[in-house]
Amino acid sequence: KAGVTQTPRYLIKTRGQQVTLSCSPISGHRSVSWYQQTPGQGLQFLFEYFSETQRNKGNFPGRFSGRQFSNSRSEMNVSTLELGDSALYLCASSLARAQVATQYFGPGTRLLVL
């Protein structure tokens, strides 16, 4: 099976812009989670989707949003970018329906905000 794919892999934006990141989960996986990884804060949970429904959201401002499509692909959007949004954004898919299961991570999108 193909692994989790994320596009784009690298992105440079300026403050105030918005960005959309894409994630394609492993075939058959219906749960997609997003994480932000920074050197100072580690891996922070953003949100989790299952069958197009957001089941949980982390402690991030409303500028961070996401959605999941009927084919389980997911996108996350960050509006009004700030310098502090520079990070590696990781998407992970799993088979989980009722409980958090093994997370299969994609290679990530590295976002730099100037």
Partner 1 sequence: GQQVMQIPQYQHVQEGEDFTTYCNSSTTLSNIQWYKQRPGGHPVFLIQLVKSGEVKKQKRLTFQFGEAKKNSSLHITATQTTDVGTYFCAGPGDSSYKLIFGSGTRLLVRP
Residue 50 CB: number of other CB atoms within 10 A?
A: 19
Q: Report the site for partner 1 in 80-109 (rule: CB under 8 A).
A: 90, 92, 96, 98-100, 102-108
Q: Considering Cα of 86, then 93, then 53, then 6, what sign does the dihedral take?
A: positive
Name every residue whose Cβ is closer than 8 Å to that of residue 67 and which is 6 or more positions away in sequence: 49, 52, 54, 74, 75
CB closer to partner 1 out of 78 and 91: 91
Determine, following the binding rule CB under 8 A, whether residue 34 of this chain makes contact with partner 1: no
Residues of this chain that bind partner 1 (CB under 8 A)? 31, 33, 35, 42-45, 48, 50, 55-56, 58-59, 90, 92, 96, 98-100, 102-108
